[in-house]
């Protein structure tokens, strides 16, 4: 028997040999089943569902944390849709559906004002916090769902008690939901980009949408069934409380399941603290488990570090040209950043040629400076050596050091003229 080819679909698929038996001249296909039948071959339904709801090439085409995240994300979407069904019922009652004293015109005005508040809220929030959504995608993903639950809580608990203020109440809840729409959509895009390890962003996003649509469809019918069971406000409140609690828990587990390999300020400070303390580099998985996804940071600095500042801040602080020249001379002429302290913050001034890795290096030097104010000038080359060691260890552990999620302003300057 002569073996011509060995084939496998991905890393988890069934292995197949293409061989020519000793007594034949034609090539035949021989599946290598081993001791266990491959589940894809055994269950046709499984293969169909995988092709419909999972990205092509799964599991090799997505990150390792994809499954854990999607399981919890599916559960939270299920709970959110049930809450939404209960809220829709409350909103329609608040608008006067079934009430002969409410005309269609007044209900239409209320609805338009409600939607208008949401449109304005989206624009304002995107302008106010848009850049933060990439920097802290996990936190804003969780905050978005908390605000969504808060908005639905207002519609469930407050709206029935104050029907005469239905317009104001609905405008308020819709404003919160508008923030949810912007924050949730933007952070979902950031997390989808993380999961798409082969650049298959559109495929991963479309399959994620298919999963959520299917879950929402099932949850909508479950919500309708629950409405038939609800006979009192107390029962409605109890069901809503249970579902919201489960929704928030599933969201917390979902964002904790994500293992981002790019440094934002929170993850960077966690890694730097351990490196300066022990010389050891934490893995992305270790850092992501330590990162806070609710409020605050696991590690903080004594003075706020601001990246990409205008040189106007430096001139306003020191004024004297000799002092400023002394600050510039403290750094190697080939560096693409300058660090200078002011009363309110530690400013990092970036050169026109600054790249992503230079920003990470500048932040490393800034944290080193805050540990010892004399280090920059007296131990410059020691810090340079530590940076190279940190960079090598980070790459070895799988961190992406050619990208970052640090918040950087757009000012650039040239001090080498």
**Rounded-to-integer distance, Cα 142 and Cα 154, Å:** 19
Could you tell me what percent of the chain has a pLDDT over 70? 94
Which among 7, 340, 288, 1 has a CA at the least distance from the CA of 137?
288
For 243-263, what is the mean pLDDT?
96
pLDDT for position 19? 85
**Burial call 71-84: b when 16+ CB within 10 Å, e when fewer:** ebbbbbbbbbbbbb
pLDDT (average), residues 330-345 = 89
pLDDT > 70? residue 375? no
Q: pLDDT category, 40, cuts 50, 70, 90? A: very low
| Banded pLDDT at 406 (limits 50, 70, 90) | very high
Lowest mean pLDDT among 132-136, 277-281, 396-400: 132-136
At residue 6, the pLDDT reads 84
Q: Which of 13, 15, 11, 9 is nearest to 64 (CA)?
A: 11
Q: Are strands 337-341 and 2-8 parallel, antiparallel or unpaired?
A: unpaired
Top mean-pLDDT range of 22-31, 108-117, 206-215: 206-215
Asked if 84 contacts 221 with a C-beta cutoff of 8 angstroms, the reply is no
Q: Of 198, 194, 150, which is closest to residue 172 (Cα–Cα)?
A: 150
* Distances, alpha carbon 173 to alpha carbons 148, 154, 241, 316, in Å: 9, 7, 17, 44
Give the chain's mean pLDDT.
Answer: 89
Question: Within 13 Å of residue 17, how many CA atoms lie on the same side as its CB?
Answer: 11
| Average pLDDT estimate for 26-35 | 74
Neighbouring-strand partners of residue 20: 2
Q: From residue 84, how far is each of 48, 240, 248, 380 by CA, in Å?
A: 30, 10, 14, 58
Question: What is the distance between the alpha carbons of residues 115 and 175, in angstroms, rounded to a whole number?
Answer: 9
Helix axes 201-229, 44-53, angle to 10 degrees: 110
Report the pLDDT averaged over residues 275-295. Answer: 95
Q: What are phi and psi of 226, to 5 degrees?
A: -65, -35
Dihedral over alpha carbons 189, 194, 195, 200 (to 10 degrees):
80
Residue 39 pLDDT level (bands cut at 50, 70, 90): very low
379: Cα separation from own chain's centroid: 38
> Rounded to two decimals, what is the model's pTM?
0.86
pLDDT at position 99, please?
63
Out of 10-19, 50-59, 308-317, 377-386, least confident range: 10-19
Q: Which of 165-179, 240-254, 294-308 is predicted most confidently?
A: 240-254
Q: What is the pLDDT of residues 155-190, one digit of tens each?
A: 999 988 888 888 899 899 999 999 999 999 999 999
Bigger pLDDT: 125 vs 22: 125
d(CA 29, CA 44): 20
**Which of the residue ranges 284-288, 332-336, 356-360, 401-405 would you say has the lowest mean pLDDT?**
332-336
What is the mean pLDDT of the segment spanning 51-80? Answer: 94
Q: In the prediction, which pLDDT does 37 show?
A: 44
Average pLDDT rounded to a whole number, residues 115-135: 90
The CA–CA distances, whole Å, from 325 to 318, 350, 353, 361, 412 equal 10, 16, 20, 22, 18
Instruction: Give the pLDDT of residue 36.
Output: 45
pLDDT in tens, 219-239: 999 999 999 999 898 999 999
Rounded distance, CA 292 to CA 296, Å? 7
CB-count burial class (<10 Å; 0-12, 13-18, 19+) for 142: buried
Of 36-50, 162-176, 185-199, 291-305, the one with minimum mean pLDDT is 36-50
Q: Give mean pLDDT, residues 201-224.
A: 95
Length of the chain counted residue by residue: 417
Q: What is the pLDDT of residue 218?
A: 96
CB atoms closer than 10 angstroms to residue 25: 6
pLDDT at 89: 86
**DSSP letters spanning 161-175:** T-GGGHHHHHHHHHH
**The predicted structure's pLDDT at residue 417:** 64
Which pLDDT score is estimated for 38? 46
């Amino acid at each position: 028997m002569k073996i011509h080819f060995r084939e496998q679909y991905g890393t988890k698929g069934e292995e197949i040999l293409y061989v020519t038996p000793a007594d034949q001249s034609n090539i035949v296909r021989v599946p290598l089943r081993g001791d266990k039948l491959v589940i894809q071959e055994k269950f046709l339904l499984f293969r169909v569902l995988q092709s419909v709801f999972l990205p092509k090439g799964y599991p090799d085409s997505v990150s390792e944390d994809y499954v854990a995240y999607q399981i919890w994300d599916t559960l939270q979407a299920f709970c959110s849709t049930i809450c939404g069904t209960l809220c829709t019922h409350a909103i329609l009652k608040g608008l006067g559906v079934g009430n002969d004293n409410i005309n269609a015109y007044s209900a239409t005005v209320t609805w338009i004002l409600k939607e208008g508040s949401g449109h304005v809220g989206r624009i304002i929030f995107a302008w106010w916090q848009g850049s933060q959504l990439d920097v802290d995608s996990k936190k804003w993903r969780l905050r978005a769902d908390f605000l969504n639950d808060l908005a639905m809580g207002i519609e469930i608990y407050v709206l029935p008690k104050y029907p005469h203020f239905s317009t104001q109440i609905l405008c308020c809840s819709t404003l919160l939901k508008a923030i949810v729409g912007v924050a949730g959509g933007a952070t979902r895009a950031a997390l989808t980009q993380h999961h798409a390890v082969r650049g298959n962003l559109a495929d991963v996003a479309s399959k994620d949408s298919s999963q959520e649509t299917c879950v929402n469809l099932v949850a909508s019918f479950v919500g309708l069934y629950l409405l038939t069971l609800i006979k009192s406000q107390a029962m409605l409140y109890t069901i809503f409380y249970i579902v919201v609690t489960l929704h928030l828990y599933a969201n917390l587990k979902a964002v904790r399941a994500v293992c981002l390999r790019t440094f934002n300020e929170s993850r960077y400070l966690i890694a730097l603290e351990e490196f300066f303390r022990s010389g050891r580099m934490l893995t992305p998985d270790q850092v992501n488990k330590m990162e806070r996804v609710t409020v605050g940071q696991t590690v903080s600095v004594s003075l706020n570090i601001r990246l990409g500042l205008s040189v106007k801040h430096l001139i306003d602080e020191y004024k004297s040209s000799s002092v400023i020249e002394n600050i510039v001379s403290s750094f190697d002429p080939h560096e693409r950043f300058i660090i200078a302290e002011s009363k309110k913050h530690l400013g990092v001034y970036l050169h026109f040629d600054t790249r992503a890795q230079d920003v990470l290096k500048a932040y490393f030097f800034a944290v080193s400076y805050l540990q010892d104010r004399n280090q920059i000038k007296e131990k410059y080359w020691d810090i340079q050596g530590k940076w190279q060691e940190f960079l090598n260890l980070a790459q070895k552990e799988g961190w992406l050091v050619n990208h970052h999620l640090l918040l950087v302003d757009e000012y650039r300057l040239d001090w080498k003229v």
